[in-house]
Amino acid sequence: MSLWAWVIGACVAAYLIKLAGYLLPQSVLDRPVFHELAGALTVGLLTSLTVMNTVGKGQAIQLDARLLALAAGAVALKLKAPYIVVVIAGGLAAALGRRYLGLP
Amino acid sequence: MRLPTFTPAVRMGLSIAAAVGVYGVSFGALSVAAGLNVWQTCALSALMFTGGSQFAFIGVIGGAGTGGAAWAAATLLGVRNGVYGMQLKALIRPPRRLIPLMAQFTIDESTATATAQEDHDERVRGFWTAGLGVYVLWNTFTLVGALAGNAIGDPGQWGLDGAAVAAFLGLLWPRLTGRDPAAIAVLAALATIVTLPLVPPGIPVLIAAVVTAGWWAWRRRHVPALPGDGGAE
Protein backbone atom coordinates (compact mmCIF):
# COMPACT_ATOMS: atom_id res chain seq x y z
CA MET A 1 0.00 0.00 0.00
CA SER A 2 2.85 2.36 0.76
CA LEU A 3 4.13 1.96 -2.81
CA TRP A 4 0.72 3.21 -3.95
CA ALA A 5 1.18 6.30 -1.77
CA TRP A 6 4.51 7.09 -3.44
CA VAL A 7 3.04 6.46 -6.89
CA ILE A 8 0.23 8.93 -6.24
CA GLY A 9 2.55 11.38 -4.50
CA ALA A 10 4.93 11.38 -7.46
CA CYS A 11 2.02 11.86 -9.89
CA VAL A 12 0.75 14.84 -7.87
CA ALA A 13 4.24 16.39 -7.76
CA ALA A 14 4.66 15.91 -11.52
CA TYR A 15 1.36 17.66 -12.17
CA LEU A 16 2.08 20.56 -9.82
CA ILE A 17 5.44 21.16 -11.52
CA LYS A 18 3.77 21.15 -14.93
CA LEU A 19 1.18 23.62 -13.63
CA ALA A 20 3.75 25.86 -11.91
CA GLY A 21 5.22 27.09 -15.19
CA TYR A 22 1.81 28.40 -16.25
CA LEU A 23 1.40 30.43 -13.07
CA LEU A 24 3.93 33.08 -14.06
CA PRO A 25 1.88 36.21 -14.79
CA GLN A 26 1.19 36.84 -18.47
CA SER A 27 2.49 40.41 -18.05
CA VAL A 28 5.97 39.03 -17.32
CA LEU A 29 5.77 36.54 -20.16
CA ASP A 30 4.59 39.21 -22.61
CA ARG A 31 7.73 41.31 -22.29
CA PRO A 32 9.67 41.24 -25.57
CA VAL A 33 12.75 40.20 -23.68
CA PHE A 34 11.03 37.04 -22.51
CA HIS A 35 10.03 36.23 -26.06
CA GLU A 36 13.63 36.57 -27.16
CA LEU A 37 14.68 34.26 -24.36
CA ALA A 38 11.90 31.80 -25.20
CA GLY A 39 13.10 31.73 -28.81
CA ALA A 40 16.64 30.96 -27.71
CA LEU A 41 15.42 28.34 -25.23
CA THR A 42 13.41 26.61 -27.95
CA VAL A 43 16.55 26.00 -29.98
CA GLY A 44 18.48 24.89 -26.89
CA LEU A 45 15.76 22.51 -25.70
CA LEU A 46 15.10 20.97 -29.12
CA THR A 47 18.83 20.47 -29.64
CA SER A 48 19.22 18.85 -26.25
CA LEU A 49 16.25 16.54 -26.83
CA THR A 50 17.62 15.55 -30.23
CA VAL A 51 21.08 14.80 -28.84
CA MET A 52 19.68 12.96 -25.82
CA ASN A 53 17.53 10.76 -28.04
CA THR A 54 20.45 10.11 -30.39
CA VAL A 55 23.22 9.10 -27.99
CA GLY A 56 21.62 8.80 -24.55
CA LYS A 57 21.14 5.40 -22.95
CA GLY A 58 20.00 5.98 -19.41
CA GLN A 59 22.90 7.72 -17.71
CA ALA A 60 25.42 6.86 -20.40
CA ILE A 61 26.36 7.67 -23.95
CA GLN A 62 25.88 4.91 -26.49
CA LEU A 63 26.73 5.28 -30.14
CA ASP A 64 24.50 2.99 -32.17
CA ALA A 65 22.12 2.77 -35.12
CA ARG A 66 20.43 5.97 -33.94
CA LEU A 67 23.35 7.94 -35.41
CA LEU A 68 22.41 6.50 -38.76
CA ALA A 69 18.84 7.63 -38.09
CA LEU A 70 20.08 11.14 -37.36
CA ALA A 71 22.02 11.21 -40.62
CA ALA A 72 19.07 9.85 -42.60
CA GLY A 73 16.78 12.44 -41.01
CA ALA A 74 19.24 15.21 -41.88
CA VAL A 75 19.45 14.06 -45.50
CA ALA A 76 15.66 13.91 -45.75
CA LEU A 77 15.40 17.41 -44.27
CA LYS A 78 18.07 18.72 -46.63
CA LEU A 79 15.98 17.34 -49.50
CA LYS A 80 12.98 19.18 -48.04
CA ALA A 81 11.05 15.97 -47.49
CA PRO A 82 7.73 16.22 -45.63
CA TYR A 83 7.97 15.72 -41.87
CA ILE A 84 6.45 12.24 -41.86
CA VAL A 85 9.01 11.12 -44.47
CA VAL A 86 11.78 12.45 -42.23
CA VAL A 87 10.46 10.43 -39.30
CA ILE A 88 10.08 7.27 -41.38
CA ALA A 89 13.57 7.72 -42.87
CA GLY A 90 14.97 7.82 -39.34
CA GLY A 91 13.09 4.69 -38.31
CA LEU A 92 14.07 2.79 -41.44
CA ALA A 93 17.72 3.78 -41.14
CA ALA A 94 17.91 2.52 -37.56
CA ALA A 95 16.06 -0.72 -38.32
CA LEU A 96 18.10 -1.47 -41.45
CA GLY A 97 21.36 -0.50 -39.76
CA ARG A 98 20.68 -3.03 -37.03
CA ARG A 99 19.52 -5.73 -39.39
CA TYR A 100 22.09 -5.50 -42.17
CA LEU A 101 25.05 -3.65 -40.71
CA GLY A 102 24.92 -5.37 -37.35
CA LEU A 103 24.90 -2.07 -35.48
CA PRO A 104 23.85 -2.10 -31.84
CA MET B 1 -14.38 22.92 -31.69
CA ARG B 2 -13.76 22.46 -35.39
CA LEU B 3 -12.50 19.13 -36.61
CA PRO B 4 -8.75 19.36 -36.90
CA THR B 5 -7.48 19.40 -40.45
CA PHE B 6 -4.20 17.86 -41.42
CA THR B 7 -2.11 20.99 -41.21
CA PRO B 8 1.68 20.63 -40.96
CA ALA B 9 1.52 20.96 -37.16
CA VAL B 10 -1.09 18.20 -36.93
CA ARG B 11 0.98 15.90 -39.11
CA MET B 12 4.06 16.62 -37.02
CA GLY B 13 2.14 15.96 -33.84
CA LEU B 14 0.78 12.66 -35.12
CA SER B 15 4.18 11.54 -36.43
CA ILE B 16 5.95 12.24 -33.19
CA ALA B 17 3.13 10.63 -31.22
CA ALA B 18 3.50 7.45 -33.26
CA ALA B 19 7.28 7.39 -32.88
CA VAL B 20 7.24 7.99 -29.14
CA GLY B 21 3.91 6.65 -27.89
CA VAL B 22 4.66 3.06 -28.79
CA TYR B 23 7.52 3.17 -26.29
CA GLY B 24 4.85 2.85 -23.64
CA VAL B 25 5.25 -0.87 -24.23
CA SER B 26 8.81 -0.72 -22.86
CA PHE B 27 7.67 1.25 -19.87
CA GLY B 28 4.81 -1.15 -19.13
CA ALA B 29 7.02 -4.22 -19.35
CA LEU B 30 9.85 -2.72 -17.30
CA SER B 31 7.51 -1.38 -14.66
CA VAL B 32 5.95 -4.76 -13.99
CA ALA B 33 9.42 -6.32 -14.00
CA ALA B 34 10.47 -3.69 -11.42
CA GLY B 35 7.75 -4.88 -9.07
CA LEU B 36 4.84 -2.51 -9.64
CA ASN B 37 1.49 -4.07 -10.38
CA VAL B 38 -0.47 -3.44 -13.57
CA TRP B 39 -2.67 -0.78 -11.95
CA GLN B 40 0.26 1.14 -10.50
CA THR B 41 1.97 0.97 -13.88
CA CYS B 42 -1.07 2.35 -15.66
CA ALA B 43 -1.57 5.01 -12.97
CA LEU B 44 1.93 6.33 -13.65
CA SER B 45 1.27 6.64 -17.38
CA ALA B 46 -2.18 8.16 -16.97
CA LEU B 47 -1.44 10.55 -14.10
CA MET B 48 2.28 11.28 -14.06
CA PHE B 49 2.49 11.19 -17.87
CA THR B 50 6.05 12.26 -18.37
CA GLY B 51 8.21 9.46 -19.69
CA GLY B 52 11.55 10.36 -18.16
CA SER B 53 10.11 10.65 -14.66
CA GLN B 54 8.20 7.41 -15.04
CA PHE B 55 11.30 5.48 -16.07
CA ALA B 56 13.20 7.07 -13.18
CA PHE B 57 10.50 6.07 -10.69
CA ILE B 58 10.41 2.43 -11.70
CA GLY B 59 14.20 2.37 -12.10
CA VAL B 60 14.67 3.26 -8.45
CA ILE B 61 11.99 0.80 -7.29
CA GLY B 62 13.47 -1.93 -9.51
CA GLY B 63 16.88 -1.24 -8.00
CA ALA B 64 15.40 -1.89 -4.56
CA GLY B 65 15.36 1.82 -3.76
CA THR B 66 12.82 3.33 -1.36
CA GLY B 67 9.54 4.91 -2.44
CA GLY B 68 10.90 8.24 -1.26
CA ALA B 69 13.97 7.95 -3.48
CA ALA B 70 11.76 7.01 -6.42
CA TRP B 71 9.57 10.03 -5.71
CA ALA B 72 12.59 12.35 -5.56
CA ALA B 73 14.12 11.03 -8.79
CA ALA B 74 10.85 11.30 -10.68
CA THR B 75 10.16 14.79 -9.34
CA LEU B 76 13.61 16.09 -10.19
CA LEU B 77 13.26 14.87 -13.76
CA GLY B 78 9.87 16.54 -14.03
CA VAL B 79 11.27 20.01 -13.38
CA ARG B 80 11.84 20.67 -17.07
CA ASN B 81 8.09 20.44 -17.61
CA GLY B 82 7.80 23.57 -15.46
CA VAL B 83 10.10 25.38 -17.87
CA TYR B 84 7.98 24.11 -20.75
CA GLY B 85 4.84 25.50 -19.11
CA MET B 86 6.38 28.96 -18.89
CA GLN B 87 7.38 28.83 -22.52
CA LEU B 88 4.02 27.56 -23.72
CA LYS B 89 2.12 30.19 -21.79
CA ALA B 90 4.31 32.89 -23.31
CA LEU B 91 3.90 31.52 -26.82
CA ILE B 92 0.30 30.37 -26.90
CA ARG B 93 -1.36 32.65 -24.32
CA PRO B 94 -3.88 29.94 -23.46
CA PRO B 95 -7.23 30.89 -21.94
CA ARG B 96 -7.09 30.58 -18.18
CA ARG B 97 -9.70 27.81 -18.00
CA LEU B 98 -7.63 25.56 -20.26
CA ILE B 99 -4.45 25.83 -18.21
CA PRO B 100 -5.21 23.03 -15.72
CA LEU B 101 -5.83 20.69 -18.65
CA MET B 102 -2.90 21.91 -20.74
CA ALA B 103 -0.59 21.37 -17.81
CA GLN B 104 -1.21 17.63 -17.81
CA PHE B 105 -0.23 17.37 -21.49
CA THR B 106 2.88 19.53 -21.11
CA ILE B 107 5.70 17.16 -22.03
CA ASP B 108 8.77 17.08 -24.28
CA GLU B 109 6.85 16.16 -27.40
CA SER B 110 3.92 18.57 -27.13
CA THR B 111 6.24 21.46 -26.24
CA ALA B 112 8.63 20.61 -29.04
CA THR B 113 5.84 20.37 -31.61
CA ALA B 114 4.21 23.61 -30.45
CA THR B 115 7.38 25.68 -30.29
CA ALA B 116 8.51 24.46 -33.70
CA GLN B 117 5.54 26.18 -35.38
CA GLU B 118 5.54 29.71 -36.69
CA ASP B 119 1.99 30.89 -36.12
CA HIS B 120 -0.31 30.84 -33.14
CA ASP B 121 -3.02 28.49 -34.37
CA GLU B 122 -0.48 25.98 -35.61
CA ARG B 123 1.24 26.05 -32.22
CA VAL B 124 -2.07 25.31 -30.53
CA ARG B 125 -2.83 22.47 -32.94
CA GLY B 126 0.70 21.10 -32.61
CA PHE B 127 0.50 21.12 -28.83
CA TRP B 128 -2.81 19.30 -28.62
CA THR B 129 -2.15 16.81 -31.42
CA ALA B 130 1.20 15.76 -29.98
CA GLY B 131 -0.01 15.89 -26.37
CA LEU B 132 -3.21 13.93 -26.87
CA GLY B 133 -1.64 11.65 -29.47
CA VAL B 134 1.20 10.65 -27.19
CA TYR B 135 -1.23 10.33 -24.28
CA VAL B 136 -3.52 7.88 -26.05
CA LEU B 137 -0.71 5.76 -27.50
CA TRP B 138 1.52 5.92 -24.42
CA ASN B 139 -1.28 4.73 -22.14
CA THR B 140 -2.53 2.07 -24.54
CA PHE B 141 0.94 0.64 -25.01
CA THR B 142 1.74 0.88 -21.33
CA LEU B 143 -1.16 -1.47 -20.67
CA VAL B 144 -0.05 -3.78 -23.49
CA GLY B 145 3.49 -3.88 -22.12
CA ALA B 146 2.36 -4.40 -18.54
CA LEU B 147 0.16 -7.33 -19.55
CA ALA B 148 2.50 -8.91 -22.10
CA GLY B 149 5.69 -8.39 -20.13
CA ASN B 150 8.84 -8.87 -22.13
CA ALA B 151 7.20 -11.05 -24.77
CA ILE B 152 7.04 -8.10 -27.17
CA GLY B 153 10.67 -7.21 -26.99
CA ASP B 154 12.44 -3.94 -27.51
CA PRO B 155 10.72 -1.41 -29.80
CA GLY B 156 14.25 -0.43 -30.81
CA GLN B 157 14.35 -3.46 -33.09
CA TRP B 158 11.61 -1.83 -35.18
CA GLY B 159 13.68 1.33 -35.48
CA LEU B 160 11.31 3.39 -33.35
CA ASP B 161 14.18 4.96 -31.45
CA GLY B 162 15.57 6.13 -34.77
CA ALA B 163 12.17 7.52 -35.72
CA ALA B 164 12.12 9.52 -32.48
CA VAL B 165 15.59 10.93 -33.21
CA ALA B 166 14.52 12.06 -36.68
CA ALA B 167 11.28 13.46 -35.25
CA PHE B 168 13.14 15.76 -32.85
CA LEU B 169 15.67 16.72 -35.51
CA GLY B 170 12.81 17.60 -37.84
CA LEU B 171 11.41 19.99 -35.23
CA LEU B 172 14.79 21.62 -34.64
CA TRP B 173 15.86 21.92 -38.28
CA PRO B 174 13.73 24.89 -39.42
CA ARG B 175 15.01 26.90 -36.44
CA LEU B 176 18.65 26.54 -37.37
CA THR B 177 18.79 29.61 -39.57
CA GLY B 178 21.39 32.23 -38.83
CA ARG B 179 24.44 32.27 -36.61
CA ASP B 180 22.82 32.73 -33.25
CA PRO B 181 20.63 29.62 -33.38
CA ALA B 182 23.57 27.63 -34.73
CA ALA B 183 25.74 28.80 -31.84
CA ILE B 184 23.00 27.93 -29.35
CA ALA B 185 22.59 24.48 -30.91
CA VAL B 186 26.31 23.75 -30.65
CA LEU B 187 26.40 24.89 -27.01
CA ALA B 188 23.27 22.98 -26.08
CA ALA B 189 24.53 19.83 -27.80
CA LEU B 190 27.87 20.07 -25.99
CA ALA B 191 26.18 20.70 -22.65
CA THR B 192 23.97 17.67 -23.19
CA ILE B 193 26.77 15.32 -24.24
CA VAL B 194 29.13 16.40 -21.46
CA THR B 195 26.54 16.09 -18.71
CA LEU B 196 24.71 12.97 -19.93
CA PRO B 197 27.03 10.55 -18.09
CA LEU B 198 27.22 12.72 -14.97
CA VAL B 199 23.63 13.43 -13.95
CA PRO B 200 20.35 11.48 -13.95
CA PRO B 201 18.53 11.13 -17.31
CA GLY B 202 16.45 14.20 -18.17
CA ILE B 203 18.62 16.64 -16.24
CA PRO B 204 20.94 17.36 -19.20
CA VAL B 205 17.97 19.03 -20.92
CA LEU B 206 17.69 21.42 -17.98
CA ILE B 207 21.42 22.08 -18.01
CA ALA B 208 21.27 22.81 -21.73
CA ALA B 209 18.43 25.26 -21.02
CA VAL B 210 20.51 27.02 -18.37
CA VAL B 211 23.54 27.20 -20.68
CA THR B 212 21.33 28.57 -23.45
CA ALA B 213 19.86 31.21 -21.15
CA GLY B 214 23.34 32.13 -19.95
CA TRP B 215 24.64 32.51 -23.48
CA TRP B 216 21.59 34.55 -24.43
CA ALA B 217 22.05 36.90 -21.45
CA TRP B 218 25.74 37.32 -22.22
CA ARG B 219 25.05 37.96 -25.89
CA ARG B 220 22.36 40.48 -25.07
CA ARG B 221 24.65 42.41 -22.80
CA HIS B 222 27.52 42.57 -25.24
CA VAL B 223 25.57 42.88 -28.49
CA PRO B 224 22.73 45.28 -27.62
CA ALA B 225 20.85 44.95 -30.90
CA LEU B 226 20.36 41.21 -30.82
CA PRO B 227 18.71 40.32 -34.09
CA GLY B 228 15.61 38.13 -34.04
CA ASP B 229 17.16 34.72 -33.77
CA GLY B 230 14.47 32.57 -35.24
CA GLY B 231 12.75 33.17 -31.95
CA ALA B 232 9.29 33.18 -30.55
CA GLU B 233 7.86 36.41 -31.89
Q: What pLDDT does B229 receive?
A: 45
Give residue B40's pLDDT.
97
Range of the domain at B136: 8-175
Contacts of residue A104, Cβ cutoff 8 Å, sequence gap at least 6: A62, A64, A65, A98
Q: Within a domain: residue B120?
A: yes
Residue B130 lies in a domain: yes
| Contact across the interface for A20 and B193, Cβ inside 8 Å | no
Instruction: Report the pLDDT value the prediction gives residue B33, as an integer from 0 to 100.
Output: 86
Note whether B232 and B169 are same-domain residues.
no
B172 touches chain A (CB under 8 A): yes
Residue B189 maps to a domain: yes
Asked if residue B208 and residue B99 are part of one domain, the reply reads: no
What mean pLDDT comes out for the span A96-100? 93
Does the beta carbon of B101 lie under 8 angstroms from any beta carbon of chain A?
no
B67 vs B54: CA distance, rounded Å: 13
pLDDT at B1: 53
Left (φ > 0), alpha (ψ -120 to 50) or beta: where does B49 sit? Answer: left
Secondary structure of residue B34 in the 3-state scheme: helix
Hey, which residues 49-88 in chain A have their CB within 8 Å of chain B?
49-56, 58-61, 65-66, 68-70, 72-74, 76-77, 82-84, 86-88
Looking at residue B178, its amino acid is: G
Boundary-marking domain end, from B143, B158, B175: B175
* pLDDT of amino acid B73: 82
Predicted TM-score (pTM) of the model is 0.80
Q: What pLDDT is recorded for position B231?
A: 42
Average pLDDT of chain B to the nearest whole number = 88
CB contact under 8 A, B229 and A36: yes
For an interface test with A, which of B115, B165, B175 has the most A Cβ atoms less than 10 Å from its Cβ? B165
Q: What is the ipTM of this complex?
A: 0.90
Residue B2 within a domain: no
Q: pLDDT tens, A67-80?
A: 999 999 999 999 99
Asked whether residue B199 falls in the same domain as residue B147, the answer is no
Contacts of A23 (CB under 8 A, 6+ apart): none
Mutate to test the interface with B, among A29, A43, A75 (most CBs of B within 10 A): A43
Most confident of A40-44, B40-44, B62-66, B117-121: B40-44
- Tell me, yes or no, whether B41 and B62 share the same domain: yes
